[in-house]
Amino acid sequence: MDEHTRQILLLGREHYDKGEYDQAAHLLGQVLEHTDRFPDVLNMLGVIAHSNGDLSEARAHFEKAVSLNPNYTEAQLNLMVTLNDLGEYERARQIYAGIRYRGGGGKDLDPFAKGKIANMHAELSQAYQDVGMTLESIGELEKAVLLCPNFADLRTRLGVLYRDAGDLKRAREHFEAAKVSNPRFLQSRILLGVLHLSAGDNDKAIAELESVLEHDPDNKGAQMYLRIARSPRSSGPPANAGG
C-alpha cells in the first residue's frame, strides 16, 4: 500500500470510530478501489452498509472479510446478524457453529461477542415463537441466557415462555434470576408477583409488588395486582396475567 492510500485508510478509520459513517464510507471506498485485501476495511464498509439498510451489500462485504480471515470473529458476528436480518436463519446458525471459541463453549468469548450471539438467539427465538414453535423458541432463549445469564430482559422473556408452556417452576426461577441481575427491571418483578398471586401466596405477591411501587409509584400494573393481592376474597388472577 502506498503512503497516500495509507493516510486515506487512517483517516477513514478515524471517521468510522467517531460514527461519521458518510465520511468514512467515502474514504474507505477509495481504499477498496486500490486493494480489497484488508478484512477490517471490508468489515467497516459492511457495518456502514448495514446501518444504511443495504443488507445485500453488507453481506457481500462481511463474506469477503471472513473469506480473507476465517478467524475474524467480529466480521463473522456481523455476517450472522445480517443473515438473520435477511431471514437466512439456517445459514446464520451454521456460521455460529463454526466460530472458534477460545477455551471451548464460548467461556472465554469477549462480552461484546457473547451479547451479539445472545441477541441472535433471542431473535431466532422470536421467529420460532411467531410460528407457534414453542419448544424451539425456548431452546434458543436458553442458549441466549447461557451466554449472557445476567441479561434480565432475556431471563424475563424465557420466564414468560415457560409460564405460557405451563412450567411455572421454571418461569419463577427465571423471573427471580432476572430480579437478582437487575432489581430495577420491573417487568420481571411484576411477573414474579403475579406468579405468587396465582399460586395463592398473597404475602409474597404483596412484598414483590410493593417493592415495584417503591421504584415506580405510578406503575399501573403493580397497583392493580396489589389491590387484588390485598383483597380478602382474592383467588388471584390467571397464571398468564401481567405480560
Q: What is the CATH number of the domain that holds 53?
A: 1.25.40.10
Check residue 154 and give its pLDDT: 95
Number of compact structural domains in the chain: 2
Does a structural domain hold residue 137?
Answer: no
Domain that includes residue 198, residue range: 149-243
Does a structural domain hold residue 144?
Answer: no
| Close Cβ partners of 173 (under 8 Å, ≥ 6 residues apart) | 159
- pLDDT < 70 positions in the chain: 1, 99-109, 232-243
Say how far apart CA 51 and CA 222 lie, in whole Å: 38
Say how far apart CA 140 and CA 233 lie, in whole Å: 40
Does a structural domain hold residue 123?
Answer: no
Do 242 and 156 fall within a single domain? yes
Do 158 and 95 fall within a single domain? no
Check residue 190 and give its pLDDT: 94
Assign residue 167 a region (left: φ > 0; alpha: ψ between -120 and 50; beta: otherwise): beta
Check residue 101 and give its pLDDT: 46
Tell me if the pTM is above 0.95. Answer: no
Say how far apart CA 19 and CA 30 lie, in whole Å: 18
Does a structural domain hold residue 75?
Answer: yes
Say how far apart CA 235 and CA 231 lie, in whole Å: 9
Does a structural domain hold residue 220?
Answer: yes
